[in-house]
Amino acid sequence: MASIFTRIVTGDIPAIKLYEDDMTLAFMDINPASRGHALVISKAELPGLLDLPPEVLTAVALATQKVARALVTVLQPDGVNIVQNNGAAAGQTVFHYHVHIIPRWDGDGALGLWTPRPGDPAALRELAEQVKAQLS
């Protein structure tokens, strides 16, 4: 069964659209975390970041910047979060690649991401070595 976002792409269900090109579509989030909260999706139904071919990743990134610039011009927020969830444990609820653009205002409390705590340097270095080995 097609994802809810594919059904928006095909016009089967409505959305308040902002921008569209060959590979991407942007529309207002139906449950906004802040005023102007928008989504940019790949038209291709791919679950997450790790599944994207470079051209789709690039197209969504460029569309995200374009839409974010327009939102910032219109709303004049103090900041903008770009959020992208992969997997249910990370908060993903729609398994069709999308990027959140969330305009922010000082003290709005719209988003809690994490509580920073100092990491153990030895553990950080050990993990970095494993990841670098994977990358080389």
Contact between 86 and ligand AMP by CB under 6 A: the answer reads no
CA proximity to 38, closest of 69, 11, 10: 69
Q: Among all residues, which ones are annotated catalytic? A: 98
Nearer to ligand AMP, 2 or 94 (CB): 94
- 82 and 104 in contact (C-beta within 8 Å)? no
Radius of gyration of the chain (CA): 17
Quick one: which segment of 26-34, 40-48, 51-59, 108-116 binds ligand AMP (CB under 6 A)? 26-34
> Which of 132, 94, 121 has the alpha carbon at shortest distance from 15?
94
Which residue in 11, 91, 109, 121 binds ligand AMP (CB under 6 A)?
Answer: 91
Should residue 26 be labelled a site residue for ligand AMP when binding is judged by CB under 6 A? no
> Which amino acid, 17?
K
Rule CB under 6 A: is residue 6 a binding residue for ligand AMP? no
Based on the shown chain and the rule CB under 6 A, indicate whether residue 15 belongs to the binding site for ligand AMP: yes
Please report where in the chains the tokens 């922010």 appear, as a residue. 104
Q: Which of 12, 1, 5 shows the shortest CA–CA distance to 97?
A: 5
Q: Which of 73, 76, 93, 134 binds ligand AMP (CB under 6 A)?
A: 93
Binding site for ligand AMP (CB under 6 A): 4, 15, 27, 29-31, 39, 85, 91-94
